[in-house]
Amino acid sequence: VMVAIDSSRSMKHNGAGQLATEALVTISRALSRLEVGQISIMSFGKQVNVLHPFEMPFSDATGSQWISKFSFEEEETDVVNLMRTTVPMMEDARNSNSGAAENVQILFVISDAVFSHRHECRAWVNEAAAKKQLIVFIIVDTGNDSVLDRESFSFSEDGSMLRSAYMDSFPYPFYIVLRDIHSMPQIIGDALRQWFEMLQKV
């Protein structure tokens, strides 16, 4: 299991940073109790940084220890670079663990979902799925400039402008919009159970 937090400046500006770090602590505690195997923690913006590698021991206090490492000062959110880094990294971790060949790996991405290059992200989602990697996007939404209220603009072949809801073209099929940290354990638990049931039917 890998957890990656968006450390870009937009997270600070819309107040999502604190909710994101609280989400990290909540997920870390849950994962350590579930004994899911090796766990890694990453931060990303323009660059991707490994804070806690897979091979290091992980406890329910590990997430709390890394909160101070998130400055939320990165200039941009390069999700494509995150995918380019994490998908092979998770594959390498699986290959180094002979007993995990058939296990589904999970990448939790905690972000305000402000990023571009969606087509490239969708390609990485498909590649990850082929490698039995489930990418769960946790969108921290503080209500200020809510992701559910945003719009996207594009141009058709004849040059006319097209307007659509921002989430209509969101490249990650498994996502949660998180507004209240107190409801997070139940929301994630319910969602993961449903997603795993879906994966078993594919």
**pLDDT tens column, 78-110:** 999 999 999 999 999 888 876 666 678 889 998
CB burial string 5-29: b at 16+ within 10 A, e below? bbbbbbbbebebbbbbbbbbbbbbb
Cα of 130 vs its chain's centroid, Å: 18
Buried (b) or exposed (e) across 94-111, using 16+ Cβ within 10 A? beeeeeeeeeebbbbbbb
- Classified as helix, coil or strand, 154 is strand
Rounded CA gap, 58 and 32, in Å? 7
How far apart are the C-alpha atoms of 198 and 13, rounded to whole Å? 36
Q: Which residues of the chain have pLDDT under 70?
A: 14, 32, 34-35, 60-64, 98-102, 143-144, 151-155, 181, 185, 188-189, 192, 195-196, 198-202
pTM over 0.95: no
